[in-house]
């Protein structure tokens, strides 16, 4: 029997009406446009929003991902476009998989990136399993990243709009997940295009502002969240220089991150001082000049590799790497120590590389993303 190889816009050999797509809806404009766009193209769309933490706290904070207002907004979009919408209670999963580790990492002196863990452990794991349970052919999100088909299968690529690119936060997306995921906004040239589409579809969130903070951290106050989760964590201690000289006192290591300059309370000491290291057990904050922040060697673990050949099939890879979401990729030599561990040598030193942050791998030319790993200790 001849097989019809005609593919729809999602790359599947079915008519849109016969293709079920679960759309992960945060209540923001991006995921709302994805759902509306796919519904308009005739797909069998099912919207799913995750309730990740207590509504009482959520409602007190506007603009946060998956807060009470955002769940309401997602539901309104579904009603406007005429597709079913479900809210799933993932509070326990989110607390165990994301929030608890976030607190422990901060207490250990690291600078965690919970949004990556949420994508990795909740959205692209548990929510994806739910999508499969709903007999969906794929799952779509509003992330700004591109999925392209290569000779060896689906590849991850940076978004067309460099200002909106979210590849750093999606480095841990596995090849198996990438096979099931779709990112319909990744090719758009600007956020203005997304908002224009929202207005075109008459969505109630067309002018909704973007969320800036981590969803469970009101006003970006990490320390307040840590103190609530781990009472007694903010114990005072000493601020010392690289020679061990005491320069002042601090009100808890959890209030500081590597590379921080403001808020140290050490004015009048000459050149600006930065947090160089945190010694959690001794409750010490180590400060020094900007030069002391420079790092060339970055150890990684929990590597997710998206290359066509095994990660440890070569002694080294010449890639561009990104050690923070706000920094552009820079040239490096990545030396595998195993299939999941590596040492990265930066060609030019970077300042403020901190344990707990991610290191994403990029092709030196072109837009392809090769995964990445977690920075686990400084040198």
What confidence tens digit (pLDDT) does each residue in 50-70 have? 988 764 444 344 444 445 788
Q: pLDDT tens for residues 276-302?
A: 988 888 889 999 999 999 999 999 999
**DSSP track, 64-105:** -TT-HHHHHHHHHHHHHHT--EEEEE-HHHHIIIIIHHHHHH
Mind telling me the catalytic residues?
118, 215
What domains lie within the chain, and their CATH numbers?
A: 16-142+184-219 (3.40.50.620), 234-288 (2.30.30.280), 294-375 (2.40.30.10)
CA triplet 234, 235, 239: central angle to 5 degrees? 105
Q: Residue 116 burial by CB count (10 A; 0-12/13-18/19+): exposed, middle or buried?
A: buried
pLDDT recorded at residue 67: 56
pLDDT recorded at residue 5: 63
Q: Residue 98 burial by CB count (10 A; 0-12/13-18/19+): exposed, middle or buried?
A: buried
CA-based nearest residue to 370, from 229, 170, 199: 170
Task: Report how far apart, in Å, the C-alpha atoms of 169 and of each of 115, 149, 284, 325 are.
Answer: 7, 21, 30, 8
Cα dihedral 129, 169, 28, 367 sign: negative
Q: Looking up tokens 């990556």, which residue turns up?
A: 116
- The low-confidence residues of the chain, meaning pLDDT below 50, are 1-2, 55-66, 378-379
| Tokens describing residue 55 | 């509504």
| Tokens describing residue 156 | 């991850």
């Amino acid at each position: 029997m001849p097989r019809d190889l005609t593919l729809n816009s999602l790359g599947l050999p079915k008519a849109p009406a016969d293709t079920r797509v679960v759309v992960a809806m945060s209540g923001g404009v991006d995921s709302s446009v994805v759902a509306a766009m796919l519904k308009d193209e005739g797909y069998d769309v099912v919207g799913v929003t995750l309730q990740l933490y207590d509504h009482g706290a959520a409602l007190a904070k506007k603009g946060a991902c998956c807060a009470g207002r955002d769940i309401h907004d997602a539901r309104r979009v579904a009603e406007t476009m005429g597709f079913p919408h479900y809210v799933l209670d993932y509070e326990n999963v989110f607390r165990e998989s994301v929030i608890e580790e976030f607190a422990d990492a901060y207490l250990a002196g690291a600078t965690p990136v919970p949004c990556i863990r949420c994508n990795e452990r909740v959205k692209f794991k548990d929510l994806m399993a739910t999508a499969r349970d709903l007999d969906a052919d794929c799952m779509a999100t509003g992330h700004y990243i591109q999925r392209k088909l290569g000779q060896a299968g689906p590849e991850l690529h940076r978004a067309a709009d460099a200002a909106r690119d979210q590849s750093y936060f999606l480095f841990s997306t596995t090849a198996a997940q990438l096979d099931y995921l779709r990112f319909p906004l990744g090719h758009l040239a600007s956020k203005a295009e997304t908002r224009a589409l929202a207005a075109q579809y008459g969505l109630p969130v067309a002018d909704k502002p973007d969320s800036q903070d981590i969803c469970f951290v009101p006003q970006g106050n990490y320390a307040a969240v840590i103190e609530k989760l781990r009472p007694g964590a903010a114990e005072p201690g000493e601020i010392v220089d690289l020679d061990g000289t005491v320069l002042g006192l601090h009100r808890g290591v959890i209030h500081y991150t590597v590379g921080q300059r403001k808020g140290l309370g050490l004015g009048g000491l000459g050149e600006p001082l930065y947090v160089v290291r945190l010694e959690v057990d001794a409750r010490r904050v180590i400060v020094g000049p900007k030069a002391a922040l420079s790092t060339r060697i970055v150890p990684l673990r929990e590597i997710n590799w998206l290359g066509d050949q095994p990660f440890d099939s070569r002694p080294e890879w010449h890639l561009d790497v990104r050690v923070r979401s706000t920094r552009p990729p820079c040239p490096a030599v990545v030396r595998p120590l195993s299939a999941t561990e590596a040492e990265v040598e930066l060609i030019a030193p970077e300042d403020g590389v901190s344990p707990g942050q991610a290191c994403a791998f990029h092709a030196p030319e072109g837009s392809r993303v090769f995964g990445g790993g977690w920075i686990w200790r400084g040198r």
